[in-house]
Structure 1
Amino acid sequence: MDARAPELRAVADPADLDREEALARLFERHYASMLRLAALLGADDPENIVAEAYYEIYRKWRRLRDADRAESYLRSVVCNLTRMRIRHLQIVRKHTEPPVAEWAASAEYTALLHDDQRALIAALGQLPPRQREALVLRHWMGLKESEIAKAMGISTGSVKTHTARGIAALTQVLENRR
């Protein structure tokens, strides 16, 4: 028998098992909503954003003060990663040649969305990033202003301002459409 055999046997740490179970539950409950959040915030690769967010929460699980707040931490990470990814892409696009062909929605994507939905999503895409983020978190994710403030890293008053301005801009764009 190898002298290193006791070292080779994997002994599962109960804390690691608890983390694994908690993250599995978090994934089951919130993956789809986090994916929608990243997509609505304008991520070009929402699956990668959400995967990276789950990796971040996995790495920092032991530092979470309250495991019950993991969902709000995950939401914040998704928002921050999406914001960073959009900034990165804006810088990259400034320093590259313009693309030959513009992005076009697939036939399946276009067929699935009703005309009003397409108009709303297009109008949402025209908003400044902070307004879009506040509206998505409020109306699509159903968060309270305090939760939005935490996810965006801003004050509650700023959330109210971004939400009000975003609604006003969407209203104007959609009324001009009629």
Structure 2
Amino acid sequence: MQRAGADGSAATGPRPPLDEPSAWSPDEAVTALYTAHYRSLVRLGALLLDDVAVAEEVVQDAFVALHGRWRRMRDPDRALAYLRTTVVNRSRSALRRRSVARRHAEAQPPPAPLPSAEDAVLAAAEASRVVAAVRRLPARQREAVVLRYWLDLPEAGVAEAMGISRGAVKSHTSRAMAAIRAALGEAP
């Protein structure tokens, strides 16, 4: 790998010794630190997080942050300490996110179980019985029930749609529901 010279051109010649990190370009410095310390930093993250995959992500992010900050570092000799601190802080953040996600998941009710094929058939059969009972109703009762319960209109809305009084809506709806219960064999 070539070093960048002070004027930005590629410098030739030997690389500075490892004990002089301030003379390294960001690419060289991060590469050298990565080669020497990646595994130990992943172990640190894995011990803090109890998850190797997340620890690897945290360490990668720490190296990316170091690369972006390299030229602004006051003391490049402290780069390893910076990396360790970054890994610890980002591990804490990951643990906080995990904790919040766990609490949020616990607060959610469990999903309702999907109906079995047998339940679906029974529900369809029951729906067919109800539809058949509604079809046997006199026209005004059928209209009142469909408008009230199928379209979920209030009594005033049903009365307006049918052109009758609210009292008549109550009467038609009550008689219709009694006839449906009787057809389905339910007690009033």
TM-score (norm 1): 0.45
Structure number with higher relative contact order (C-alpha < 8 Å, ≥ 6 residues apart): 1
TM-score w.r.t. the length of structure 2 is: 0.43
